[in-house]
Amino acid sequence: MTDHDPREVFLAEANELLDRLETTLLDLGDRPGDSALVDTAFRALHTIKGSGAMFGFDRVAAFTHDFETAFDLVRRGEVPISADLVNISLSAKDYIRTLIEDPDSTAPVIGEAILAELERLVGRAQAQPAAQPGPGAPDPEIPDAGTAGWRIGIAFAPEVLRNGTNPLALLDELRELGACTVVPRLGDLPALAALEPESLALGWDVTLRGSATREAIEDVFLFVRDDMVLTLTPLDDVAPAPDAPVPVPRQAVPAPVAEPVAPVLVQVPVQVPAPVPVQVPAPVPARPSARPPATPAEAERRGPARGTEPRVASTMRVEAERLDELLDRVGELVIAQARLSQLAGHHADAGLQTIAEEIERLSAQLRDTTMSIRMVPIGALFGRFRRLVHDLSGDLGKPVTFVTEGEETELDKTVIERLADPLVHLIRNAIDHGIEDPARRGASGKDATGRISLAAEHVGAQVHVTVRDDGAGLDVARIRAKAEERGLVAPGTPLTDQQVYQFLFAPGFSTAQQISALSGRGVGMDVVKKTIEALRGSIDITTEPGAGTAIVLRLPLTLAIIEGLLIRVGDGRYVLPLAAVEECVELPEGGRSERGRDFLDIRGDLVPFLRLRSLFAATGEPDPYQKVIVVSVGETRFGLVADQILGNHQTVIKSLSKLHADVTTFSGATILGDGTAALIIDPAQLMAGGQIGAAPDGLREYREVA
């Protein structure tokens, strides 16, 4: 398929409509009396049906038509919203998505079963015995003789043709509502030389006879109401005008004119009793001429003015691969800019330095703009889990309220894409293991309905995503007993609660009593840990017995370009993520405590530190005045000793090769201005690897040992 394949556009729009439909249906489960939600769901179905038929998805159009027909009874207030109706509607939505994405693997019997259940729930009129009309009541199949119909005024904006609207198809839909006569408005028709093929200059006056309701007529123009002026007047209230326009026949009729000009052809797809010639006004001269101000009635007939056309939407679809390619080019530009700045610093040419500074400023702005394009509100991800909670709540028999906060928080699109699976596992575990069943919650004085909250917030250059439940909390003794049973820790080994919690992320670890369809095999939390670590993030767990558990995922804003602190250790240069750096201090003499662990007294707080020269086996003599860079990982602070701090550095992250997959100390590499490579240190991995020792209890003990 080409980049501009219309079917691809349909697939993208259909996915958006299905996501909107799912959200609307879930909202209807909470607010069944909200008629606006019902209208939103109906519009989504109507659009999917029409677009599916247009692009050749006939099975989609046919199924959605039946779905829409059943849901129309809800829209008209004949069938109330119920939990069962919401559930079967969600299943119908899933079936539509499958028909679009993989139609060959979808059995028609599934759709038939869904429609049968829909029909049973809504009690369609044809499945019930029809009520017999009483004496003197009009036949429901025959329009009431007293119902005259409607006078309809239609005036589209000139750009509707460019937007893909087909006015003739809409007139055909009107004809399906009853016998109608259509008369074009030719007063604003320009001369042939001034005619713009893509601009609509016609309006229509329609006389529709029969029992069609106002709502049925408005539904015909449901998706173009913002680009038109529609007037509806009952025929009973309209006196026939003596000079009313003559109906236009379906056939094209050349207009008789007083002077030799090209014939004007009018073709409207309607049926009228007999062809009658129409008188066409003289064409407007091509030269500009003064026109008297239009009366309100004329303004309505002409439709929206050309000078006040609605603004075109300011967004556009761009393939994700193009954004990735753009980011790669910006990364190369940042590297080239660093080289230019380094060269300019070695020359006394003021002009060269000025250009280097200007390019540095522009590249920084381009970098920030490119990164902002890739940022996506995390609410797009949060919305997916409402369905997950809804289904799990029903399957487990645990009523659960799902609450989200911070949906406007933005993250790099790559981070959001890779974050979906970890959050699925965390939410499933929270409902299956964390939330108690209603009987246990009632016995402990809790509300029978559990609560799962999913929140996101910016904290510095990180985003914290928190999954919190109000369940029973983690059982430390049970987790430890399971770890000892599996040989993960020797019995009696002193461990903090946080260390015990880490066993939850061990492959195959599970405290479930029995294996179920949801959990018990221990294949969930290890996936969470591996994914978050691959994103250069970390996980914190806090729990309170009887009150619930909170799991915090600490994630970087982006995985592509970061601000870094460039340091030197021996002859090598390394980069520390600037977001993790708190402060830099000079390393004092001494300060070594017991058992070979190093600690620094910073304003009364003990901060353990690690000598990078020893860790990296650097050669040569250390600098006499070494520096300590204090970094933070979660709630933990520790220092890293380097020989020299070289300054800030815009770091374009390059992944390490597969040969270095087991090197966890570094999260990647970058290219410096002189063309050499520098490794990017991952502070979280240094702490997780046990390189940082725990401080002794209390400052007094430290001073006594020192």
Q: Give the list of residues 6+ apart from residue 338 with CB closer than 8 angstroms, or none.
A: 649, 650, 672, 673
pLDDT (0 to 100) of residue 429: 87
Contact yes or no for 338/423 (Cβ under 8 A): no
Angstrom distances, CA of residue 255 to CA of 259, 263, 280: 11, 6, 6
Report the C-alpha gap between 586 and 597 in whole angstroms: 18
Task: Give pLDDT, residue 454.
Answer: 92
Domains and CATH numbers, the chain: 6-126 (1.20.120.160), 143-240 (3.30.70), 320-376 (1.10.287), 378-556 (3.30.565.10), 561-705 (2.40.50.180)
Structure tokens that stand for 555 in this block: 């994630």
Strand arrangement of the beta sheet that strand 572-577 belongs to: 644-652, 561-569, 572-577, 677-681, 666-671
Burial class (CB in 10 A: 0-12, 13-18, 19+), 62: middle
Could you give the C-alpha distances from 499 to 333, 401, 466, 541, 620, in angstroms and in order?
A: 44, 31, 20, 10, 38
Whole-angstrom distance between the N-terminal and C-terminal Cα of the chain?
72
User: Using CA atoms, how far apart are residues 524 and 701, in angstroms rounded to an integer?
Assistant: 42
Length of the chain: 706
* pLDDT at residue number 655: 75
pTM for the model: 0.59
Question: What pLDDT sits at residue 511?
Answer: 62
pLDDT tens-digit profile of 612-667?
888 888 888 888 888 899 988 767 788 899 998 988 887 777 777 777 767 778 87
* Confidence at residue 236, expressed as pLDDT on a 0 to 100 scale: 67
Distance CA 149, CA 616 (A): 88
Parts of the chain with a pLDDT under 70: 1-6, 124-147, 236-316, 460-461, 510-524, 558-560, 590-597, 634, 661, 688-706
**Token couple for 214:** 């106002």
